[in-house]
Amino acid sequence: MRHSKLPYLTLAVLIATGAAQASVFKDAQLQTLLDKDKTEELERVAQTRLKQSPADTQAAVALALLAKDSGDDKRVEAGVHSMEQCLAQQPKEAACHYALGSLLGVQAMSASMFKAMSLTGKIRDAFSRALEIDPGFIEARAALQQFYVMAPSVAGGSISKAGALAQEVRESQPELAKLMRSRVLAQDGKLAEAERELLSFKPGDNAWLNNEWRQTCGSFGIGYLQDKQWAKAKSWYEQLQQLQPQAAWGAYGLGRVATEQGQFDEAVKLIERARGLEGAEQLPIDYRLGVALQGKGDKAQAKAAFERYIASKRTNPRNLEDARKRLSSLG
C-alpha cells in the first residue's frame, strides 16, 4: 500500500544550516523570539517596531509569519497584502518572498480546488525566487521542497525536483538532507528507507532542526493513521517517545492511535500528558482532546475543549471547521 501523502503541516519551514544558525530574520531579537516560539512577545515587538517605523521590513515579515498560524482569514489576507507591498518596494527581499509563499500556502489549504490551483504557481514562484535571491536561504529550500512533495503534478508538484533539492545539501547539510530525503522516500512509497533516514538523524544543539525532525516523524506516523495501520502507527510513536520523551509528539501520536481504536480513556490520558511536553503548542491538543472526550461521552468537557481550541490563535481550517460542527452537535 502506498503511504498517504504527508500532511501539509506548514510551508513556513525554518531549517538550520550546518554549524551556522539558519534564520528568517537578520534581526537577532526577532529571530531569537521565533526560535523560542515566543509568538505573543514576537507579535508585540513587531507591532511596536512598525508603529515606530512603518518601513521596518523585518517586523512586517514577523507579523506575516504569525498571521499564517492565526486561523484568521483576514489576518492572512492582510499579511499577503503587506508582503506584496514589501516586494513592490524591495523586489529582492528574500524574506518577503518566503513569507508571501507561506501565506499563499495557507490560503490554498482552505480555498476551493479552482482557487487553490490558481495559487500553486504563485506559491512555487515565491519560494523559488527567495532561494534564487539567497541560495543559502534554506528555509526557502525546505518550503520549496515541501511544495514539490505536496502539490499534484498538474499543479507543479515533482518528486524528482524535491529529491534534487535534498541532494544539493547532502554534503553541506547532512542532517537536513536526511529529513528532506525521508519526505521524498515516503511520498514514493519507500517506507522502510524513509524510516531509516529519520531514525539515523542525529539531534544537535539546533533547537529548530530537532523540532523539524520531530514534526517530520510525527507526520510520518499520521500517514500510518490515515492508512488505518494502527499497529504500525503505535509502534512508530512508541519509538518517538523513547527517543525523545521530553517531546509532545510521542504521547500525542499515541493518543491519536488510542482515539482511532476507541480507547477513549487512554486517549484522554495521553493527550493530556502531551500538553505539558515540548512542542505541545504546535499541536491541536484541545481539538484532539475534545474528540476523545466526545467519544468517551463526556459532553461537558468535550465542549470546553472545543471552545478552547476555537478561541486559540493556532488552528488550521480543517480542524477548526470540524471543531465547530462538533461543538454545535453538543448543544
Each residue's pLDDT tens digit, 174-193: 988 898 999 899 888 898 89
Whether residues 136 and 269 share a domain: the answer is no
The number of domains in the chain is 2
Does the pLDDT value for residue 248 go beyond 50? yes
312 - beta bridge partners?
none
Q: Can you name the residues that pair with 20 across neighbouring β-strands?
A: 17
Instruction: Please check whether residues 163 and 223 belong to one and the same domain.
Output: yes
Residue 4 or residue 276, greater confidence: 276
Residues 143, 235: one domain?
A: no
Looking at the structure, do residues 315 and 252 belong to the same domain, yes or no?
yes
Of 100-104, 208-212, 268-272, 325-329, which gets the smallest average pLDDT?
Answer: 208-212
Q: Quick one: pLDDT band at residue 28, thresholds 50, 70, 90?
A: confident
**Whether pLDDT at 111 is above 90:** no
- Asked which of 204, 227, 250 is the last residue of a domain, the reply is 227
**Predicted local confidence at residue 6, as pLDDT:** 40
- Chain centroid to CA 264: 26
Phi, psi angles (nearest 5°) of residue 20 = -85, 150
Contacts of 310 (CB under 8 A, 6+ apart): 320, 323, 324, 327
| Whether residue 157 is found in the same domain as residue 41 | yes
Q: Is the pLDDT of residue 234 over 60?
A: yes
pLDDT at 247 over 80: yes
Last residue in a domain, options 180, 210, 227: 227
Residues 119, 104 contacting (CB under 8 angstroms):
yes
d(CA 7, CA 186): 12
pTM for this model (two decimals): 0.75
Which of 197, 227, 257 marks a domain boundary?
Answer: 227
Would you give the DSSP letter of residue 247?
A: B
Per-residue pLDDT averaged across 152-180, rounded? Answer: 89
Q: Are residues 18 and 108 in the same domain?
A: yes
Q: Which residue, chain included where needed, has cell 466526545?
A: 294
Mean pLDDT (the chain) is 87
Q: Using pLDDT thresholds of 50, 70 and 90, give the confidence band for residue 16.
A: very low
As a whole-number percent, the residues of the chain with pLDDT over 90 amount to: 56
Of 1-5, 247-251, 313-317, 323-327, the range with the lowest mean pLDDT is 1-5
Chain centroid offset of residue 300 CA:
30
Specify the pLDDT at position 261. 96
295: pLDDT strictly greater than 70: yes
The pLDDT of residue 216 is above 70: yes
Same domain, 186 and 315: no
Instruction: Output phi, psi for 221, to 5 deg.
Output: -65, -35
Residue 237: domain span: 229-331
Query: Largest Cα–Cα distance of the chain, in whole Å?
Result: 57
Among residues 205, 169, 200, 273, which one has the least CA distance to residue 35? 205
Rounded distance between C-alpha atoms, residue 171 and residue 167, angstroms: 8
Better pLDDT: 209 or 66: 66
* CATH number for the domain that contains residue 271: 1.25.40.10
pLDDT top residue among 115 and 326: 326
Find where cell 462538533 sits: 326
> Does residue 173 share a domain with residue 257?
no
Same domain, 86 and 100: yes
Mean pLDDT of 109-118: 80
CATH of the domain at 176: 1.25.40.920
Do 207 and 124 fall into the same domain?
Answer: yes
Q: Please check whether residues 38 and 101 belong to one and the same domain.
A: yes
One domain, residues 237 and 301: yes
